[in-house]
Amino acid sequence: MLGTELADFAEPLPAFDPSRLYGLAFGSGNYYDTQPGGGEVGDGTTGFGAFYLLHVASIPATTQIVFNNVPFASPSAGHTLQGASSALRGTAYRDTTNNTLTPSRPVTSTDVGRLVVFGYAYDPGTTRLRAYADRQEVGIGTAMSTYVAATLSSRLGVYRDGSLPTTSLRVLSSLTYRGVLSAANVTALFDAIRTAGDMPTSLTGATLTHRWSLRDVLVAANVIVPDGSPAPTTLPDTVTAASADAYTKVGAPVVRDLGAVATPRMFTYETTPIYRGSDQGSSANYHVSSFDDATLASGFWWALLGYFPAGTNAATVLAGAATASAGWDVRVAANHATASWSMGDGTTYTSSATSVLSTGRVSLLVGTWDQANLRQRLYNNRLEAGTGTARTAYAPPAATKIFLGRSPRDAGTAGTRPILGFAQGNGTPTLAQVQALYDAIASTDSMQGIPGMTSVLVDYTLDGGNPATLTNRAGAGTFARTGSPTLGQVYSRAYSW
């Protein structure tokens, strides 16, 4: 009885605070290592990838090795993650003279004090190394032929010879996988990391092979962790639970209290780009449909998601399916002042009312042909930009493809602004349906269509930004890349409406 009463009044033991962020800090001679062959050695046949959750303490001005299993004297196999020249990048090896770097993800002053997720993957189908950051693929390295798997230990925090320690970045957790992730799988993984504040324990689209988490170890210990505390002796592999795959401490890495509650806003990709687009650059660079335009004289609509930066810019044509006198196309005035669209009646073209564009933001333009009222309408910022004058008729273009990045009737003027998505269908949507389309795009951060009225739908981001082939997600057919449109910048969720 007395024991029970004493227990009732006993002070609770100090416990780990799971709402706080903690990361591993390394230095010369202070790192983690697996046994030889431990961790993800890589796979040149099925492909593999690795993702890291990092905290940016400062900008990595000099080369710092976050992870590597590459031979030091003769780097001929394996892969690395490094911070160098104010950026993050991955490397994979085939032999001593053939390796490839991923495109870099810059690390800037706005990243300091925040969480960044960086991943890289070897794709055996293209023999290229891909880089992932900010919730999407950020670039593809040059072709490197077959990757050669590593046989050495996996080392976290320094290079193989103990040099180039990670001093600007704190490591919170990592995972690896075998296979090739789709764009949707990558987005889902970034979202899962942001939700958990840690690497997830499951993965869709590939086989999860290894996972290490400082947070898991600290939660299990359930004690207060002052800043600068000695790092755990072991970081177990939560997937294999094999001793060979566990990270074992060498030297004296420490745990840093990062001093912030783990919320989604701590992640750099909460406020950095989520859209990717194709920047045409000239009339020779565009995407064109494998099928003919199917707009009807009785009524049709189109929607184009794009980005219009401020500054001095030439007038451009963004999209179209047009002959000399029939069809339609979408145009933007010089300096992105206004937008309008044109339609042919079989004899000549007429333009819609114009709408002032919001520069520096993602905008959605929607055009409709209302045959019942003989009105050619344009919507921007969820509102109609004036009905314009009455039109007599619309003449669909005969056997004409849909062009994204130019108009077939105006080959001399190219759309030089990134196109992010496009949709089209027949029928005349109401204002409420158009506004619902705006809301659907804003709530999903992806291109959408109008339910029951969409026959064409492409989303550049989901297809990698500037793919050889754009998928029609609402019907049959594809859009093929012609020429060399460049990958535009990546754009944040800053909508004009």
Cα 150 to Cα 48, 72, 80, 309: the distances in Å are 13, 12, 11, 45
The torsion angles phi and psi of 383, rounded to 5 degrees, stand at: -125, 155
What is the pLDDT at residue 411?
Answer: 57
The predicted structure's pLDDT at residue 249: 97
Q: Domain spans of the chain?
A: 20-270, 275-491
Q: Tell me what pLDDT residue 415 has.
A: 53
| Contact status, residue 293 vs residue 396, Cβ threshold 8 Å | yes
- Token readout for 244 is 């060979």
pLDDT at 416: 57
CA 81 and chain centroid, separation = 19
β-pairing, 20-25 vs 254-261, is antiparallel
- Rg, Å, the chain Cα set: 27
- Beta-sheet strands, E only, within 128-270: 128-133, 136-140, 155-156, 169-178, 207-213, 229-230, 234-235, 247-250, 254-261
Q: Which two tokens stand for residue 300?
A: 């049709």
Residue for token digits 């925040």?
114
Neighbours of 282 (CB within 10 A): 16
**What is the predicted pLDDT for the residue at 437?**
97
Q: Bridge-partner residues for 422, per DSSP?
A: 304, 458
At residue 414, the pLDDT reads 55
- From the list 106, 12, 9, the residue with the least C-alpha distance to 61 is 106
**Backbone torsion region of residue 423, taken as left when φ is above 0, otherwise alpha when ψ lies between -120 and 50, otherwise beta:** beta
Run of H or E including 444: helix 431-444
Are the C-beta atoms of residues 286 and 483 closer than 8 Å to each other? yes
CATH of domain 275-491: 2.60.120.200
CATH topology of 20-270 equal to that of 275-491?
A: yes
Q: What angle do CA 274, 279, 280 make, to 5 degrees?
A: 155
For residues 482 and 287, is the Cβ–Cβ distance under 8 A? yes
Residue 481 CB: number of other CB atoms within 10 A?
A: 18
Q: Which of 492, 361, 369, 384 is nearest to 435 (CA)?
A: 384
* Helix or strand (DSSP H, E) at 434: helix 431-444
**Cα maximum dimension of the chain:** 101
**Which SS3 state, helix, strand or coil, does residue 68 take?**
strand
Cβ 359 vs Cβ 494: under 8 Å: no
- pLDDT computed for residue 271 by the predictor: 46
Domain 20-270 CATH assignment equals 1.10.1520.10: no
The secondary structure of 397-414 as a DSSP string is PTT-EEEESEETTEEEEE
Q: What is the pLDDT of residue 456?
A: 98
Alpha helices in 173-321 (DSSP H): 183-196, 214-221
- Residue 141 identity (one-letter amino acid): G
Per-residue pLDDT, 2: 37
Q: What is the pLDDT of residue 347?
A: 95
pTM of structure: 0.56
Contacts of 3 (CB under 8 A, 6+ apart): none
On whether the CB atoms of residues 135 and 127 are closer than 8 A, the answer is: no
pLDDT along the chain (497 residues), means of 10: 41 65 93 96 93 92 90 79 84 67 78 88 87 82 80 91 91 97 91 90 97 95 89 97 97 87 60 64 84 97 90 83 95 89 94 89 93 94 82 94 88 65 97 95 87 94 79 93 74 71
110 is written with which tokens? Answer: 């706005």
Q: Sign of dihedral through CA atoms 264, 267, 273, 274?
A: negative
The torsion angles phi and psi of 71, rounded to 5 degrees, stand at -60, 135
DSSP state of 176: E
